[in-house]
Chain A
Amino acid sequence: MTNTNLVFKSLTRRKGRFLFTLLGIIIGMASFVTFMALGGSLKSQIERESAALGANLVVTPKGSCAYEQVSILTGEQLPTNITKDEVAAIRSIDGMMAIPFLAERSAIDNRPVSVMGILPGETREFKNWRLAQGEYFPHENAEGAVLGSVLAEQFGLLPGSEVRVRGSQIKVLGVLDETGGKDDLTVFLSLPVAQKLYDQKDLVSYVAVRVDHLDEVELYANKIKDKVSLGVVSDKQMRNSVLSIVGTVNITLQIIAAVAILAAAFGIVNTMMTATYERRREIGILQAMGATRTGIFKLFIFESGIYGLIGGVGGAVLGGLAAVFAAPLISQNAATSFVKGAQSSLDPMMFVGAILFSTLVAMVAGLYPAIKASKLSPVEAISYE
């Protein structure tokens, strides 16, 4: 017999209670791990998207707020207030590359997808795309669509098949190689075709700018502002502003999960208090046999810790699975579609941290019952009927 054996035998004596208390902590920890993983994946995805954008500056309609900046990174629909003349003025500045984008939305099989109007040749060069299947737009005004790899896979679309965008059947020309970003979930059309489909003649949503010399980003931002009355934001500003929103969302989600864990911790307190009362006589017997108060305290705190340890492992596994498999089903929005590429944010250290945290919370929850148990006098405990 060891302390560990004794603890496990005590824990599993009342199997139902053990299971329900355990479920409380598993569910609490699972929600915590899920939110952490999703939060982490959103953050890393924002960073990936920002890098994938390939721009140092983004020109947006004047008065754009952080929401529009998020939309640029997530592929949401954007106001189309930038005119052809404004684009031309920006593109006339030397020492930088400026690419206009028309960001729209459509639906395939009732699921929302991003539709992007692009200048095919320049955008391919700007984004360094490679083609996986079929062909790319043969010229700048070409009819037809090029699809992101994940979108093509999700909807079973191949070169030659047709995709319906805003009521028009459009032939799929090709499928891009996986980029790891939102481009994988986008239908690309040539800019004139997209503008015609969405009645946005000569208008675009934003212009992505890459300057030739990184140390001149600020200078070029001012040059653009001199030419056009539009908002100019650097990729760093945009990333930080989006990350701060994501951070706020993460903290909110983690607070919700913390409440779940707190509730589970009180479940442990309740279970262990009940055990203390039920096992008074047993505590007395152990004391009569020579168990010290510290020994009794350790037994009870160890029991609580086991709840936390098993609950933490169960919660980490369940939460990890939820983050990978269930999250995309929760919503069809662009944020959760990121989860496909979210494996990288299932950090092993996060799991270890979650298990340690869960064990610690459970042991803290078990402190009061353990102290109560250890303070029972042997005579009082043995005499308990």
Chain B
Amino acid sequence: MNNSVISAKGLVKEYGQGATLVRALRGVDLDIPRGSFTCIVGASGHGKSTLMHLLGGLDYPTLGTVIIDGQEVSKLGNKELASLRAKKIGFVFQFFNLLQNLTAKENIETALMLAGVPDHEQEGRAIELLELVGLEDKVNAKPGQLSGGQQQRVAIARALANDPPVLLMDEPTGNLDSEAEAEVMKVLENLKHQGKTIIFVTHSTEIAARSDNLICVRDGQVQEPQAFKKAS
């Protein structure tokens, strides 16, 4: 498994306790190959987002281990985990989650600032990233002035700010029309060719079909992809 950028073993995640105990993940084992385009699929409420949060170091597992680029999440404190997220993972969310009062460039600069990039180096890097996603003409546009597809591309550019090896995307095209989805997928294709590992949580069988590693989550466990295809 030397080629895995993220691996999980015996992953259990529980919320609440006693009568309100919810077991969102019930022992997940998986490996995400470096440079792969991995799709995590499954119906709503079956643990996809919980899995994504754990794989991205946003949360600690109740049991089991998550190793991100050689570092075991459970052994890291809040500060180290924040640092790991800043350096190793780029997050993209379904609802873009851009900071609405900042321009496209400033959104990216904020991520650069959090990664410790000096102020004077931020602008050039932010513009480079906007060029990478084809939005060089929207540098000073605020999210409200951009289409859904454009906002998501800004979010991708922001996720790439610190050149992380892994892009973790939670239904990034779930809120987009097919044209905007195509724009985003084109950007992701390019990133894959550049060697980025892309983990893509989706409901879409079409996107899942384009993946080279498919993980199907059902009832908090990983199932054979075939089951997803049949269910779909």
A residues lining the B interface (CB < 8 Å): 1-3, 5-6, 9-10, 13, 281-282, 284-295, 377-379, 382-383
Contact = CB atoms under 8 A, between A and B. Distances in A.
Find the residue from B78, B89, B106, B161 having the highest chain A CB count within 10 A.
B78
Interface stretch (B80-88, B175-183, B199-207): B80-88
Contacts of B59: 377-379
Contacts of A292: 78-79, 82-83
Contacts of A293: 78-79, 82
Contacts of B122: 1
A113 B189 CA distance: 89
Nearest to B49: A383
Interface residue SS majority, chain A: helix
Given A1-B106, A290-B83, A292-B82, A285 B97 contact: yes
* Cβ-closest 9 pairs across A and B: A290-B86, A1-B109, A292-B82, A288-B91, A378-B58, A13-B101, A1-B113, A290-B114, A289-B111
B106 A294 contact: no
Interface residue SS majority, chain B: helix
A382 B58 contact: yes
Contacts of B162: 290
Given A288-B56, A288-B91, A382 B109 contact: no
Contacts of B114: 286, 289-291, 295
Interface in B158-209: 158, 161-162
Contacts of A3: 113
A286 B98 CA distance: 10
B132 interface: no
Given A286-B110, A292-B79, 7 more contacts: A1-B122, A281-B97, A282-B97, A285-B91, A289-B111, A289-B158, A293-B79
B112 interface: yes
Nearest to B89: A288
A3 B122 CA distance: 13
Nearest to A9: B101
B53 A291 contact: no
B86 A289 contact: yes
A291 B112 CA distance: 11
